[in-house]
């Protein structure tokens, strides 16, 4: 049985990682940053203490491996991500990596019928370059060389960021894993929503990961004098964009999808100038691809209608798309056995409204996820929090799931 001391160790390590931030007043750790390098080093030390051989792969992911009964067996991969959104909580991603390390520390090396590999993915959020899952898509071998030209807010390309980090872009294919090297991927993550807490459950098993699309939207009007321009002559890009923002929420509620406008920039941005241009983001998710795509079609239609009515132009550019991913039933049943090992005889199942690295990894091996509740369902916020008791339950379930797969594999 897992002690609270084991849970406390994990929470203390989350606190240590939370100190590795590019910002003094809040947590932000992005892909290929000095903070990412420091986090990899800290995690490599903990992986090594747990009995793993460690390396940083050609994409900047921190990896570890424990051999099974014989050398070079295919591996069960455990992991999550260590990058964050701006002003993040300290458990989104990191908790899953640290739980995986604690599971490995509880397994006797050389005893499993498969190898155990751990990975701390370097970029699940996409905070620095916009496109997400750059670490896990390298592992999955689904890399797009177009991404080398992505730039961050300082105009640094992904290619240059690799070099600055000490990685050689030409050697990226070294990170690609082949299906025959892996037997599956397990990830434990905070739910990032209130469903488990509202149901009074510590843990839940994930059925599928949301279908998602992310777009940049633009409303183009005409800047003008805030005093002298009569309303009937205005082409106010901000009023047009605002109508669409409210419509995204209304349509999402009506259609049971999840649309969010998280970024919005007004140009030219003068207090006495009618906005001529608004650039804003759309993050759209649904349980199924068709629901996502139909909702986007309707939002697009609404944007055009608002633009027509207000003599504006409406433009959209998609920069991220991930179709819904179904979790593997065998791996999922191992997590259900894990939940039962904590005394919960009716494991709760739910689809993940949040995206995860498993969306990329499923291209190379089957995946499954276990959720643990987080206080108030809060995430992507410094108030993100979990209890030691729930972390202990998650560690018990995670270890039991690995041992269940080992027993099945004989």
Pick 125 or 328: Cβ nearer ligand HGY: 125
- Per-residue tokens: 16: 């240590």
CA distance 334 to 360: 21
Count of C-beta atoms within a 10 Å radius of residue 23: 11
- Smallest gap from Cβ 357 to ligand HGY, in A, equals 9
The answer to whether the CB of 324 falls within 8 A of the CB of 287 is: yes
What lies within 8 Å, CB to CB, of 100 at 6+ separation is: 78, 79, 80, 118, 186, 188, 398
Using CB under 6 A as the criterion, what x/- string covers residues 143-162 for binding ligand HGY?
--------------------
92 binds Mn ion (CB under 5 A): yes
124 binds ligand HGY (CB under 6 A): yes
Pick 125 or 390: Cβ nearer ligand HGY: 125
Using CB under 6 A as the criterion, what x/- string covers residues 314-353 for binding ligand HGY?
----------------------------------------
CA distance 75 to 313: 52
Among 125, 187, 279, 287, binds ligand HGY (CB under 6 A): 125
Residue of minimal Cβ distance to ligand HGY: 354
Among 52, 241, 354, 374, binds ligand HGY (CB under 6 A): 354
Residue 328 interacts with which of ligand HGY, Mn ion, none, CB < 5 to 8 Å by class = none
Name which of 108, 80, 89, 105 is nearest 11 in CA terms.
89
Among 60, 79, 89, 93, binds Mn ion (CB under 5 A): 93
Beta strands in 272-330 (DSSP E): 273-274, 277-286, 313-322, 325-326
- Smallest gap from Cβ 81 to ligand HGY, in A, equals 8
Pick 92 or 202: Cβ nearer Mn ion: 92
- Smallest gap from Cβ 342 to ligand HGY, in A, equals 25
Q: Is 154 left (phi over 0), alpha (psi -120 to 50) or beta?
A: alpha
Residue 236 interacts with which of ligand HGY, Mn ion, none, CB < 5 to 8 Å by class = none
CA 272 to chain centre: 40
CA 361 to chain centre: 12
Pick 277 or 369: Cβ nearer Mn ion: 369
355 binds Mn ion (CB under 5 A): no
Q: Where are the alpha helices (DSSP H) in 310-385?
A: 329-341, 358-361
Residue 287 interacts with which of ligand HGY, Mn ion, none, CB < 5 to 8 Å by class = none
CA distance 106 to 203: 20
Pick 67 or 124: Cβ nearer ligand HGY: 124
Pick 11 or 210: Cβ nearer ligand HGY: 210
Pick 93 or 347: Cβ nearer Mn ion: 93
355 binds ligand HGY (CB under 6 A): yes
Name which of 178, 312, 346, 150 is nearest 234 in CA terms.
312
Backbone angles phi, psi at 65, to 5 degrees: -145, 135
Residue 355 interacts with which of Mn ion, ligand HGY, none, CB < 5 to 8 Å by class = ligand HGY
The answer to whether the CB of 83 falls within 8 A of the CB of 127 is: yes
Q: Beta 75-81 vs 115-121: how paired, if at all?
A: parallel
Q: Where are the alpha helices (DSSP H) in 200-288?
A: 237-255
Pick 57 or 125: Cβ nearer ligand HGY: 125
- Smallest gap from Cβ 172 to Mn ion, in A, equals 23
- Contacts with Mn ion: how many residues (CB under 5 A)? 2
Residue with tokens 């929420």: 249
Residue ranges in contact with ligand HGY by CB under 6 A? 124-125, 354-355
Residue ranges in contact with Mn ion by CB under 5 A? 92-93
């Amino acid at each position: 049985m897992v002690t609270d001391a084991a849970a406390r160790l994990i929470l203390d390590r989350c606190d240590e990682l939370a100190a590795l931030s590019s910002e003094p007043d809040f947590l932000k750790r992005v892909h290929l940053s000095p903070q990412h390098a420091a986090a990899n080093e800290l995690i490599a030390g903990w992986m090594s203490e747990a009995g793993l051989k460690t390396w940083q792969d050609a994409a900047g992911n921190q990896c570890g491996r424990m051999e099974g009964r014989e050398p070079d067996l295919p591996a069960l991969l455990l992991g999550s991500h260590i990058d964050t959104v701006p002003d993040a909580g300290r458990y989104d991603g990191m908790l899953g990596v640290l739980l995986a390390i604690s599971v490995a520390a509880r397994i006797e090396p050389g005893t499993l019928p498969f190898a155990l590999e751990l990975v701390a993915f370097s970029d699940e959020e996409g905070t620095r370059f916009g496109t997400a899952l750059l670490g896990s898509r390298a592992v999955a071998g689904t890399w797009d060389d177009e991404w080398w030209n992505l730039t961050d807010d300082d105009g640094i390309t992904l290619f240059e960021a690799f070099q600055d980090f000490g990685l050689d872009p030409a050697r990226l294919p070294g990170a690609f894993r082949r299906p025959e090297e892996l037997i599956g991927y397990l990830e434990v993550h905070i739910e990032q929503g209130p469903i488990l807490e509202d149901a009074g459950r510590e843990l839940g098993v994930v059925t599928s990961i949301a279908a998602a699309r992310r777009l940049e939207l633009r409303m183009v009007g005409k800047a003008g004098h805030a005093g002298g321009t009569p309303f009937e002559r205005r082409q106010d890009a901000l009023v047009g964009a605002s109508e669409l923002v409210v419509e995204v929420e209304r349509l999402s509620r009506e259609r049971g999808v999840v649309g969010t406008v998280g970024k919005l920039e007004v140009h030219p941005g003068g207090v006495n100038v009618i906005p001529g241009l608004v650039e804003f983001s759309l993050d759209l998710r649904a349980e199924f691809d068709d629901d996502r795509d139909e909702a986007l079609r309707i939002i697009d239609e609404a944007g055009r209608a608002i633009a027509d009515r207000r003599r504006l132009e409406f433009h959209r550019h998609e920069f991220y798309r991930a179709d819904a991913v179904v979790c593997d039933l065998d791996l999922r049943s191992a997590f259900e056995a894990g939940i039962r090992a904590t005394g919960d005889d009716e494991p709760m199942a739910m689809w993940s409204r949040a995206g995860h690295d498993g969306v990329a990894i499923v291209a190379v091996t089957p995946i499954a996820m276990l959720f643990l509740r987080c206080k108030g369902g809060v995430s992507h916020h410094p108030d993100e929090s979990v209890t030691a008791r729930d972390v202990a339950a998650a560690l018990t379930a995670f270890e039991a799931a690995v041992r269940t797969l080992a027993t099945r594999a004989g």
